[in-house]
A and B are shown apart, each in its own frame.
Chain A
């Protein structure tokens, strides 16, 4: 579907002079790594700016994140700073706080940090998926079905499966990864590149294997966005089986777990 592109250089109401100096600064600072400013530095920075300037920068960050999220690409703090925040980097924590609040209060989305070392974020939906829908964020996308089959295989096998097993199972469902599929195109590419980049799946090399072997696990976005109960219901329909008959998985799906899902229990509500 056409989840819409949002602009990346949102409105610039700054004067010409300000915009020019912004460009200059950005070029010089491109490779300088970002260091988190202290609370007092942030306060000093805020004192020097008008509220309108801070609002404008926040709007630009919101737009930037929407553009990335539209392709479900995780957003790196480094990119936000480099491409949008630029010379406002001394108040970055404040801008991020406001951005995050805007996503929650206006759009019903939550900005989640999925990698606290490299500061990588994704947007997750705070609203429950409508009845019968697996995910709120991807309306009627055929790839969602493919993703759920694979997440299902991994879940049923206890959290990790060999790559070859995924391809074999798909073949049984008449999706041949070696052939071009009508809906998905290059299936292997969708799974290994797209789903992995979107953090729905992890695709890692099994150590000490010759020839190389890979395995799949759930990615962080799946942990946050995908309800295991709904997934089991989906598997039940696929195999024409009562989801409760997979007793171990059913128990896991219905037990609220603290470890896997980070702070936002979107999928468990």
Chain B
């Protein structure tokens, strides 16, 4: 059987339960803090430490999962439900028709099917008319969308909705399974890609995460698609510096607005 958990593990897990998601730097700081609190030797092996917790969480269908944010390219750790899922974490908080609005065939579909990984409020409002469980009025739909943003399932920017980092991390298996025909994988890091840049060659059309774009094209004067060699017609963002010591963004367990580092979950920076 799995190794028993000590107080350091339990305190780390309790904080993860409370915060839901934290970035890599904060996770390391948290581990250090938990060690200090219990007078344990400082442990720098975060991933091994988390493996021990995960072994115990597995029978509960929970897991601390590591992944990259599509937005800032940072590495994050999120406590997720592995229940292959009808979005189980939500089901206690939302009514059936509210869940339907979010789920398959509705908001999720719009987001996954789009080229940009976003859905406009207008399109979401339109699909609220065709809910099978119980129709939502315009006002009600707007209210549900607000709650989904507040609970950090969705992010909203100027009327465009996208999936939050934590939501993507938790639902990645679900997205891969239920949208296997629509969803694309990032050409660079091979994870599910929603918000991205896309090759404009109609016979190619590969997608790359924005932070992966920054890393891949860094320093190239003539950016070309890694698959078809066509000119890459999008603005190449800067690779962001890692902010390992930055405490300002490290206070809340949320995805920070500030940009820090472009890094993927599969490639380790040297």
Q: Cα distance A59–B58 when bound, in Å?
A: 10
Instruction: Name which of B17-25, B133-141, B192-200, B262-270 contacts chain A.
Output: B17-25
Q: Cα distance A131–B38 when bound, in Å?
A: 11
Which range contains the number of A residues in contact with the other chain?
A: 20 to 34
Contact A127 B61 (CB under 8 A): no
Contact B79 A63 (CB under 8 A): no
Q: Cα distance A63–B79 when bound, in Å?
A: 13
A22 CB → nearest B CB, Å: 16
Contact B14 A7 (CB under 8 A): no
User: Is B172's beta carbon under 8 Å from chain A?
Assistant: no
Instruction: Provide the residues of chain A in CB contact with B82, threshold 8 Å.
Output: 11
Q: Which of A106, A130, A136 has the most CB of B within 10 A?
A: A106
Which range contains the number of B residues in contact with the other chain?
A: 20 to 34
Contact A108 B14 (CB under 8 A): yes
Which of A5, A8, A58, A107 is the one whose CB lies under 8 Å from B10?
A: A107
User: Is A260's beta carbon under 8 Å from chain B?
Assistant: no
Which chain B residues numbered 29 to 66 have a C-beta less than 8 Å away from chain A?
37, 56-57, 59-61
Which of B13, B37, B61, B90 is the one whose CB lies under 8 Å from A59?
A: B61
Asked if A8 meets B83 with Cβ closer than 8 Å, knowing A108-B13, A127-B10, the reply is: no
Contact A106 B83 (CB under 8 A): no
Which chain A residues numbered 52 to 99 have a C-beta less than 8 Å away from chain B?
55, 58-59, 62-63, 66-67
Q: Cα distance A3–B152 when bound, in Å?
A: 12
Q: Cα distance A116–B93 when bound, in Å?
A: 29
A128 CB → nearest B CB, Å: 8
Residue of B nearest to A3 (CB): B18
User: Is A144's beta carbon under 8 Å from chain B?
Assistant: no
> Interface of A with B (CB < 8 Å)?
1-11, 55, 58-59, 62-63, 66-67, 102, 105-109, 125-127, 130-131, 136, 139
**Other A-B pairs, 8, CB within 8 Å; known A4-B18, A126-B10, A139-B18:** A2-B19, A2-B253, A7-B81, A8-B88, A10-B81, A108-B7, A108-B13, A109-B14
